[in-house]
Amino acid sequence: MKYKVLSWVVVGCIFLGVLGLVMCTAPGIGANTGNKGSITVQLGSSQAKSLVPTISLTCTSYSVSGTCADGSTFGPTTVSGTTTFNALNQGAWTINVTGMNASATPIASGSATTTVVAGSTVSVSVTVAEYSGGGTLALTMDWTAAIASPSITASLQDASDNITAQSWNIQGQGATSSMSLPHAGWYADVCQVLSSGNLVCGFAEAVRIAQGQTTSGTITLTPVVSTGSISVLLSPAMNDPLSLTCTPTPGSLAIASPTTFSVTAGGTSIVSFWYVNGVYQATGNTYTLPLTAVPVLGQNYRLDLVSFSANGQNGGDASWTIVYEDAGTITVEATPTNNAAAVTITVTNAGGTVMATGSGSWPLNTLSTWTTPTLPSGSYTVELKDNWGYDSSQSVSIPTLQPVVFTGL
């Protein structure tokens, strides 16, 4: 929730505000007399959104009260806009404000001091900030297929880089977690799910905590057979979530070659972190996902993006389900008939990049074969050359159903 700045103007006599007179000693909403003065309260707006607690964090009304050094008081009075408090005793005043949501639940507070002088105009500003006390995070995690001997490693990191271990209770084909966090604000929740010690799925999420409230959510993961290490680099943020624009659009995506992803935040300077199944991959607002990060054909991988504003005050995230679908191998068959049979093989893609090479001693008039490693779908040129400099080439596309055949080399 954004901080709210309330302007208080003390004048000799000004207009009536949005609500009526509050109970106080001596002051009222009538005209000032003698050595009396006035305070005008001006209110702005606030907003909140994202993965947040169930309570609304938008202030719709404010409770205002004041205490003078001589013991006189006014309020508390509930207001929603500009309000004038007249006929206040001269002297030092302390102004207290409590911000409330549409359900009249207090969610923020602030205070300031000023001095009322009859016939003079003074001003004071009060910053109304969200309560800073701790709250509860309650999450449910489900996985779409059974995981043998599952275990979970997870932690939360706040804006001051304090890391707290997150405990999960595994129950059947999922797990639950409920824990108290020490202060309100943004946290980065990073989690890896393992099967017999091997990573099979994971996630990274930005979550928000409010004082005395519960933030909850459900995360569904698709496990995949994979192993790897965990490297977590996070810079959590505060305040409202970022509005992220991602290319490609988050969702399900089939790839057959390295694919580039990018993110912007409407002109806001951001820093972004990329994860595959909860494993850190890169930092930056553009990331090219290599095939080595999603090596198993036909399996689902989760690509997560976590972004924070450069000033650390805002956070956001996005996710894709990645499937490495189109790929194959090229089988080369050759029967040398004319020259010595020390043969080299070069496989080049349509962009001119060499994707695979091979060599060997192939006997004359004898059929020999060689198969490339797995390659992404596309067009390729296969070239054979013997040690006398004779060569031959053919074009082929993946997926291919027939081998590339060379004769008479």
Q: What is the pLDDT of residue 206?
A: 86
Give the domain extent around 344: 327-407
**202 with 313, same domain?**
yes
Q: What is the pLDDT of residue 230?
A: 53
**182 with 35, same domain?**
no
Q: Calculate the CA 9 to chain-centre distance.
A: 41
**156 with 269, same domain?**
yes
Q: What is the DSSP string of 397-408?
A: EES-SS-EEEE-
d(Cα 202, Cα 32) in Å, to the nearest integer?
Answer: 66
Q: pLDDT > 90: what percent of the chain? A: 31
**193 with 151, same domain?**
yes
Q: What is the pLDDT of residue 400?
A: 63
Q: What is the pLDDT of residue 29?
A: 36
Total domains, the chain: 3
CA 165, 167, 172 angle in degrees (round to 5)?
150
Which of 324, 347, 374 is at the close of a domain? 324
Q: What is the pLDDT of residue 15?
A: 26
Q: What is the pLDDT of residue 179?
A: 93
**312 with 174, same domain?**
yes
The DSSP element (H or E) to which 54 belongs, if any, is none
Q: What is the pLDDT along the chain (409 residues), one digit of tens a residue?
A: 344 444 433 332 222 222 222 222 233 434 455 567 666 554 443 333 346 788 888 888 889 899 999 999 988 989 876 677 777 888 999 989 998 989 999 988 989 998 988 877 667 788 888 888 889 999 999 998 899 999 999 999 887 788 899 999 999 899 999 999 988 888 888 999 999 999 999 998 888 888 999 999 899 998 875 444 556 555 443 467 889 999 999 999 888 778 999 999 988 899 999 999 999 999 999 999 998 898 877 788 999 999 998 887 788 999 999 987 766 788 888 888 776 668 888 999 988 889 889 888 878 888 888 888 878 777 899 998 887 777 888 888 876 656 777 776 6
Q: What is the pLDDT of residue 385?
A: 87
Tokens standing for residue 25: 């000693």
Tokens standing for residue 392: 């031959």
CA–CA distances in Å: residue 359 to residues 332, 344, 367, 370, 398 = 12, 4, 15, 9, 22
**184 with 310, same domain?**
yes
Strand order in the sheet with 378-385: 354-361, 342-349, 378-385, 391-398
Q: What is the pLDDT of residue 38?
A: 66
Whether cis (ω within 30° of 0) applies to the bond prior to 295 is no
pLDDT, one tens digit per residue, over 286-308 is 999 998 898 877 788 999 999 99
- Number of neighbours of residue 261 by Cβ within 10 angstroms: 22
Q: Which residues contact 49 (CB under 8 A, 6 or more apart)?
A: 240, 241
Q: What is the pLDDT of residue 397?
A: 82
Which of 259, 290, 324 is at the close of a domain? 324
Strand order in the sheet with 286-289: 245-247, 259-264, 286-289
Q: What is the mean pLDDT of the chain?
A: 80
CATH label of the domain that carries residue 295: 2.60.40.10
**385 with 305, same domain?**
no
**331 with 316, same domain?**
no
Positions of E strands within 226-314: 245-247, 252-255, 259-264, 270-276, 279-283, 286-289, 300-309
Place of tokens 């006189």: 72
**119 with 165, same domain?**
no
State the distance between the two ends of the chain, measured CA to CA, in whole angstroms. 74
Per-residue b/e over 16-47, b at no fewer than 16 CB within 10 Å? ebebebbebeebbbeebeeebbbbbbbbeebe
CATH label of the domain that carries residue 362: 2.60.40.1930
**318 with 331, same domain?**
no
**72 with 99, same domain?**
yes
d(Cα 316, Cα 101) in Å, to the nearest integer?
Answer: 24
- Tell me the residue type at 393: S
Which of 289, 324, 359 is at the close of a domain? 324
d(Cα 290, Cα 228) in Å, to the nearest integer?
Answer: 15
CATH label of the domain that carries residue 66: 2.60.40
**175 with 121, same domain?**
no
Q: What is the pLDDT of residue 310?
A: 86
pTM of the model: 0.50
DSSP 8-state class, residue 291: G
Per-residue b/e over 295-327, b at no fewer than 16 CB within 10 Å? eeeebbbbbbbbbbbeebbbbbbbbbebbbeeb
Q: What is the pLDDT of residue 232?
A: 52
Q: What is the pLDDT of residue 402?
A: 66
Strand order in the sheet with 169-170: 169-170, 174-181, 135-143, 214-221
